[in-house]
Amino acid sequence: MSSCILIVDDDPVQRRLLDAIVTKIGHETLVAENGEAALRLLESGDARGISAVILDLVMPGLDGLGVLGAMRERGISLPVIVQTAQGGIETVVSAMRQGAFDFVVKPASPERLRTAIANALKVEAAGRPERTARSGGVLTFKDMVTKSPAMERVIRLGQKAAASNIPILIEGESGVGKELVARAIQGVSPRRSKPFVTVNCGAIPENLVESILFGHEKGSFTGATEKHAGKFVEAHTGTLFLDEIGDLPLDVQVKLLRAVQEGEVDPVGGRSTVKVDIRLISATHRNLLQQVKDGKFREDLFYRLNVYPIFVPPLRDRREDIPYLVRHFMARVTPSGSRGRLIDISARALNLLQAYDWPGNIRQLENAVFRASVLCEGDMLTEEEFPQIRAQVEGVAALDRSSSQAPALSPAPAVEMPRGAAEAVSAPPMLFGILKALDDRGNMRSLAEVEMDMIKMAISHYNGQMSEVARRLGIGRSTLYRKLKEYGIDPETGRAERMELS
């Protein structure tokens, strides 16, 4: 899905390079030549469409850290990817303390930027509740858009848990709204006026996880020129939300277990522990129990976190919410009282959206509605504004019809085929969702060819969401991107640019 990325850099050459890379990835761009210009854009009407920021740290006047601080003060909550040629550890920590989402060192490769942007966009929708809370008060369960019984159960569990300090583990696929549930729990709890600190455990560089979570003392390692409190201390008296908890390294899990059990943390290089009073809410899209069995997650930590589990169902299991969510997103694209064109969505378009499985869940639905609203030339959304969704729904329907109409075949008697006759047998066509095992001559295809087709099909099926593609294929994102490069597959289209298979 195309998003708008704000590029902030005082170097015109670097701005053009970044603009070219981001545009090639498939996103739109806005550019600012300094920090002051970036803030003006972020506070203007153009800011509504911005999904992420690529920010240079070293600039004359208002530098990158100044921009991050100003965004924090003004309640502008967007994922920010900071970049600089000075990649010292203290620079990274300072940027993270100011709220940076990710960090890249110049010159960043297109693949590194692609990954950083994809990760930022993955959590961008989850950050929107924070902006809502800052601009219009505390977020509660009343702010959740739902009419489904499955989500009513989530709300009931969340309301019961809010009255206590019991550790909560929120489980569910990517994009279902786990952080929204966590913020609603905070919003109806006695800690509603206290800090709500979010940490995306999967987005922090592994060598910085311990410092970011528990803090460090001045001089504790090379580049540590000042003391850093850490997220646990920042969340003192409030709520700490650890998103993607399943991505924490095993050595950090040991210290996290101590923090949860004893209510105290050990800063890196510190001589004494620091007492903290926090409400801990964790979230994951992974099967933590399976990770425990695989030795990737500590069993003792799992049972400490999994005291009060809440499962948020995927959108395909609560399709009755789709009409309400669609109109909610349409209202955000065209706010009440504005002179926007959109008035409604056709019944056929709603039926189409409800027939789709939404592997990216609510986040994918929101992006689809936003894109359709941009494409729409009238005052009503129709099927024409959702071409990718319609193509996939019609493909599945065609496959279902083909399967249901196919006559039952009785086993044929064994017949010895003449030598060479097998080469004349044509392989069946590759239907939607089916990979062919034989080539056009009737021979078995190589594993590499089948794997390439599987990856292309996954990219198409999950609309280019590389995190979801990697998760569904059971491989890491770095492995996925390596295979894309090997096979010459364009991650935006899912098509092979070249064939290097023997």
Q: How far is CA 9 from CA 19, 22, 47, 100, in A?
A: 11, 14, 17, 16
**56 sits in which H/E element:** strand 50-56
Q: What is the CATH T-level fold of the domain 316-403, as seen in this structure? A: Helicase, Ruva Protein; domain 3 (1.10.8)
Q: State how beta strands 380-381 and 4-8 pair.
A: unpaired
Q: State how beta strands 239-243 and 279-284 pair.
A: parallel
Burial class (CB in 10 A: 0-12, 13-18, 19+), 212: buried
CATH 3.40.630.10 correct for 138-313: no
Phi, psi of 7 (to 5 degrees): -105, 125
CATH 3.40.50 correct for 426-502: no
Tokens linked to 81: 């990817």
CB 68 within 8 A of CB 98: yes
In CATH terms, are 1-125 and 138-313 the same topology?
A: yes
pLDDT tens series, the chain, 502 aa: 567 899 999 888 888 899 989 988 888 888 999 998 888 888 765 555 788 899 998 888 888 888 888 887 676 778 899 887 765 556 666 777 677 888 888 878 888 888 888 878 765 544 444 444 443 447 889 889 998 999 999 999 999 999 899 999 999 998 899 999 999 999 999 998 899 999 888 777 777 788 888 887 776 665 666 777 889 998 999 999 999 999 898 988 998 998 888 888 888 877 788 899 999 999 999 999 999 999 999 999 999 999 999 999 999 999 999 999 998 888 877 544 444 556 689 999 999 999 999 988 998 898 889 888 877 888 889 999 898 888 888 876 666 666 566 555 444 344 343 333 333 333 333 444 566 777 666 677 788 888 888 888 888 887 778 878 888 888 877 788 888 888 888 766 556 554 444 3
Tokens 């193509």 identify what position?
Answer: 391
Roughly what angle, to the nearest 10 degrees, separates helices 64-73 and 35-42?
A: 30
The domain ranges of the chain are: 1-125, 138-313, 316-403, 426-502
CA angle 466, 469, 472 (to 5 degrees): 150
What class has domain 1-125? Answer: alpha beta
